[in-house]
Amino acid sequence: MTAPALSTHRVRNPGARDWFLRQQEKMQAELCEVRTVHDHATAKGDGTELHWLQMLQRRLPMRYRAERAFVIDADGNRSQQIDIVIHDRQFCPVLLDTAGGVHIPAESVYAVLEVKQVLSKEQIEYAGAKIESVRRLHRTSAEFLHASGRSRTIPKPILGGIVAFESGWSPPLGDSFEAVMRTSTVDTRVDLGCALRHGGFEIVYSDRGEPQLSRCDADSSLIFFFLRMLHRLQQIATVPAIDYVEYTGLLVVGEDETADAVRTVNSA
């Protein structure tokens, strides 16, 4: 008797979609509670940032870490304070951690996200300026050893995003939203985001700078944003190795002292 052929049809698991939807409903309820409990704008903003930050900290793969932080470079420049910095977990040194904030080297950064209550023209432009303050920083790239020899990783563009509770437009992600995205510069571009109550979006820019926009419905805004962000992080692959010698220039004063410090490090 011939055995029946095995079916290659994949059965969709309705439980997985339901689980994702429950996660979004939970997140939305928590953010609604923050908006209801806190009258003060700063307290409301801090509470909202914390929920987004904790969500990413729980669900990002272990190679990444999410922090509210400043980003600095080897030339002594510093970004504006960023609501969420997604950076390398394994090799990233936290160069300064004080009451004034965490400071992360620019080389370790994969993505920066701004958290807002409402998605609007003003907030997207504000987020773009914050993203620009990170993208304009100098990133070093040191050679590193591996089994096949030496390599050097070219720094890839840093992702920029914005997440909000809702959109201030009607329709939420329509022509007005797209028009704002067309006015951005290379350094102020927002690559992806989410208005939790109204939908998620991803933008891929052509070689000519034209935005190609993908959107999703409100009921899957959170998981759409999260999965598209993971896909973009996957494309970056890895951040460049930090050239720590360049950072020694922040610790000394004067050309002679800098040269002495570099010689000392190189001879170690």
Instruction: For the chain, give the number of residues.
Output: 268
Assess contact for 131 and 122: CB atoms under 8 A: no
Assess contact for 63 and 89: CB atoms under 8 A: yes
Q: Judge whether 114 counts as a catalytic residue.
A: yes
At a CB cut-off of 8 Å and minimum separation 6, what does 103 contact?
69, 70, 71, 72, 78, 94, 95, 96, 97
Q: Judge whether 26 counts as a catalytic residue.
A: no
Active-site residue (options: 88, 116, 166, 191): 116
Active-site residue (options: 67, 73, 88, 114): 114
Active-site residue (options: 49, 83, 132, 191): 83
Distances (CA, A) of 227 to 146, 203, 221: 31, 14, 10
Which helix (DSSP H) or strand (DSSP E) does residue 202 occupy?
Answer: strand 199-205
Describe the crossing of helices 221-236 and 14-37 by its angle, rounded to 10 degrees.
Answer: 100
Q: What residues act catalytically? A: 83, 114, 116
